[in-house]
Amino acid sequence: MNKLNAMLIAGLGAASLSFSALAADTMSKSDAKTMKSESDGQYKAAKKKAHDDYEAAKASCKSMNGDAQKSCMKDAKATEEKAEADANATHEKEEADIKAMKK
């Protein structure tokens, strides 16, 4: 699961960099709309992946008992929350970059 999160973060970071690299140029409203749509899609996919990973981790925690299960559930939730926070931060950055490019 950690490898998947690292891959997701790397992918979102690369997407963010591609938006940032274009920030120096201006774009048409149509291009901005397309970029926003892509950003929204990536954001939704990242949030869905975070939730799906959490559900899978939660299912694997059910085979445990007591403190081990509590710890596993806590780790699974923390991982989900971090992945969602990373997705939110990336999405907000991309939104700002797109807005800056429209000017």
Structure tokens that stand for 16 in this block: 């963010």
What's residue 100's pLDDT? 85
Looking at the structure of the chain, the number of domains it has is: 1
What's the rounded Cα separation, in Å, for the pair 28 and 64?
55
**Residue 25: which region, alpha, beta or left (left: phi > 0; alpha: psi -120 to 50)?**
beta
Domain span at residue 88? 2-102
- Say yes or no to pLDDT of 13 above 70: no
Mean pLDDT (the chain) is 83
Say if CB 94 and CB 14 are below 8 A apart: no
Over its C-alpha atoms, the chain yields an Rg (Å, rounded) of: 17
- Say yes or no to pLDDT of 64 above 90: yes
User: What's the mean pLDDT in 45-56?
Assistant: 97
pLDDT level of residue 56 (50, 70, 90 thresholds)? very high
What's residue 30's pLDDT? 83
How does pLDDT run across 71-94, given as a tens digit for each residue?
A: 999 999 999 999 999 999 999 999
* CA angle, 16 then 22 then 27, to 5°: 120
Tell me how far CA of residue 79 lies from CA of 31, 76, 86, 89, in angstroms.
Answer: 34, 5, 11, 15
Tell me how far CA of residue 98 lies from CA of 2, 20, 55, 63, in angstroms.
Answer: 30, 9, 33, 46
What's residue 101's pLDDT? 81
pLDDT greater at residue 75 or residue 7: 75
Say if CB 97 and CB 26 are below 8 A apart: no
